[in-house]
Each structure stands twice: as C-alpha cells, then as structure tokens.
Amino acid sequence: MSATNHFQAQKLFDVKGYVCVITGGGTGIGLMAAQALAANGARVYITGRRLEVLETAAKTHDPSTPGSGSIIPLGPCDVTKKDDLAKIVAELESKESHIHTLMCNAGVGGPKSDPSSSSATDLKKTLWENESVEEWGETYKVDVTAVYFTTLAFLPLLQAAIPHTRRFAPSVLVTSSMSGLMRHAQAHFAYNAAKAATVHLTKLMSAEFQKLGIRVNSVAPGYFPSEMTAKESDAGNKSFLPDEKVLDKGHEVPLMRAGEETEMGMAVLFFARNEYVNGQIVAVDGGVLNSVAS
C-alpha cells in the first residue's frame, strides 16, 4: 500500500532552510508572501525604498515560533537603479551563499483616467490632459524594466542554490496582475499595458533562463488589500479593502470580496515548492477573468 504521509501539507509546503528575497516586501502582497514563507521555515530578506517600513514588517513575524524562519530587512533599495541592486546583492552575498526564491514584487499603479466617454473629443481631452508620457515611462520602468534587471542581478545567487536542491528548485516569482490579462482598461491604461508586458517578460525569462536551471513564473493577483488598492496601511503595514470597494470596479467580481492574505500565501508557497512548474502565469483573482474579456 502506498504511503500518504509525504502528502501532508506541512511537508508539501515546507520551505525550511530556503533563502528568499522579496522586492516591495514591506507591505501588501510582498509582506503576505514574506510572512507565508517565514511561517514555513524560510529566511526571507525583504527590500524596498523605505527602511522604516521594512523594519516594521520584520517585526510582524515571531522567529521564536517552532519551525518558523525569519524576515530580515535588506537595503533600502530602489529597484529602478542598477547601483542599488548591485549593492543589495553584495550585501546579501556577505550573508548567504545562494538563494532559492526571488520574488519581483515592487510595482506602481501609474496614472488613472476614466475612459467611459463616448465622445472622441471628450475622451481625448480626458486621457490627453490627465496622463503624461513621463508617467507612462515611470510605470513601465518600475513594473517591467526593474523586474528584468532585478532578476539579472540575482541570477548567480539563484543558480548557486542548485547543488543544495533538486535541479529546477531555484525560482523567480514575478508579481504581474490580472489587469495584464484583460481587455478592460480599468481606467489605467498605463498599468494594464505594463502588467501585460510583465506577463510576457515572465515567459521570455522562463524560456531563456531554464538553461541555467532557474524557473520563472508569475502570480497575477486580483483585488488584494495593499497600499496600491487601499491607498493606505496601518501601523503593522497591513491594508484593508472593504467589499464595497471591490464591487465598484465596473465589472463583476464573482466572489464579491477581496482576496485574503492567506490565499496569496498559498499561491506563493506553491510556486516556491513545486519544481515542475515553469513559465506559468496563474491568476489568483476570485474569478474576475471569467467575467471580463481577456
């Protein structure tokens, strides 16, 4: 009779001894990911532009809990600057010989303009006057270009994990968005276009970097509480997204609520542990893409 103990959840999602890095790890989805990984044994280095936010995030985890790992501030770092990326890689190399997972999570929302007018003159006026070429460029620089260069910066540390694991264990997890998979502009053309590019960048890096023994996948979140969606966070770096805000998006949200942080945690652990998953974009969106053209 086949044994079933190797299917126990604590074994399937055990990341004890893993070393992980998360950009934008101090709040929102990045912090959800950090807590999920740390709760299951990983040493998680979080980076971002605000050191005080990173330090607060680190305090949300109790490393004395049996079987748990730790959350460690790294940086600060502006992921759009090569010098900053090189600096945190060097800082990490002084502490770790390799990393198992890199989560490229840092992102910005970009400009928003309501495209609902049926008058071409009015629509042009709204979009033309409320958005700038510079804002579009900044959105792309953070949400796409920085993902590429962040991944490049950590490639050697990722590949160095292979002797410590099975062949395709090292992985990059890119935070894209369901917004990059739909035709609904959601009043932010720049963000949706950038996230669509992030989705394709994930596929490109997956195909090109598999020869290094490194997997690249993307989680495409729906509506989760974060500083981007809720516009604020509390003293513990957590945000709250009321149901009414989720339901007022101009399209259906079948589950009629925001995603829960544990649901994002499940997705992150899946990508970190499942070595047979490579080049995939998984939407964790409450079914939104079933009701919006994609």
Cβ(25)–Cβ(55) below 8 Å: no
Cα separation, 94 vs 116, in Å, equals: 53
Specify the number of domains making up the chain. 1
Token pair, residue 223, equals 């509506």
Cα separation, 180 vs 191, in Å, equals: 8
User: Would you state the pLDDT for residue 134?
Assistant: 98
User: Would you state the pLDDT for residue 168?
Assistant: 55
Cα separation, 232 vs 87, in Å, equals: 29
Q: For residue 259, is it within any domain?
A: yes
Residues near 250 by beta carbon (within 8 Å), at least 6 away in sequence? 184, 186, 187
Instruction: Report the candidate in 66, 36, 30 with the shortest Cα–Cα distance to residue 48.
Output: 30
Q: For residue 6, is it within any domain?
A: no
Active site residue 191: yes
C-alpha separations of 19 from 11, 47, 70, 92, 101 in Å: 17, 14, 10, 10, 7
DSSP assigned state of 197: H
pLDDT tens column, 52-62: 999 999 998 98
Given 45, 140, 171, 176, the catalytic residue: 176
Share of the chain above pLDDT 70, in %: 98
- SS3 call for 193: helix
Q: For residue 5, is it within any domain?
A: no
User: Would you state the pLDDT for residue 237?
Assistant: 84
Q: For residue 286, is it within any domain?
A: yes
Place of tokens 């516009």: 231
pLDDT tens column, 180-224: 999 999 999 999 999 999 999 999 999 999 999 999 999 999 999
Cα separation, 114 vs 222, in Å, equals: 20
CATH no. for residue 239?
A: 3.40.50.720
User: Would you state the pLDDT for residue 15?
Assistant: 94
pTM for this structure?
Answer: 0.94
Q: For residue 83, is it within any domain?
A: yes
pLDDT tens column, 111-158: 999 999 999 999 999 999 999 999 999 999 999 999 999 999 999 999
Is the model more confident about 293 or about 281? Answer: 281
Q: For residue 3, is it within any domain?
A: no
Token pair, residue 127, equals 């979009």
Given 195, 223, 233, 239, the catalytic residue: 195
Q: For residue 4, is it within any domain?
A: no
User: What does residue 71 show for φ and ψ, rounded to 5 degrees?
Assistant: -120, 125
User: Would you state the pLDDT for residue 293?
Assistant: 82
Q: Is the pLDDT of residue 67 over 90?
A: no
Q: What is the mean pLDDT of the chain?
A: 93
Given 18, 45, 191, 223, the catalytic residue: 191
User: Would you state the pLDDT for residue 251?
Assistant: 79
Active site residue 125: no
Q: What is the mean pLDDT of residues 88-101?
A: 97
Q: For residue 1, is it within any domain?
A: no
Q: Which residues span the domain enclosing 250?
A: 13-290
Token pair, residue 92, equals 């990490």
- 96, with CB counted inside 10 A (0-12, 13-18, 19+), is middle
CA 54 to chain centre: 16
Bridge partners (DSSP) of residue 43 are 19, 70
Q: Is the pLDDT of residue 105 over 60?
A: yes
Instruction: Convert 36-59 to b/e letters by CB count within 10 Å (16 or more is b).
Output: bbbbbbbbbbbbbbeeebbebbbe
Active site residue 195: yes
User: Would you state the pLDDT for residue 41?
Assistant: 95
Cα separation, 178 vs 259, in Å, equals: 13
Cβ(252)–Cβ(291) below 8 Å: yes
pLDDT tens column, 241-275: 888 888 877 778 999 999 999 999 999 999 999 99
Cβ(106)–Cβ(79) below 8 Å: yes
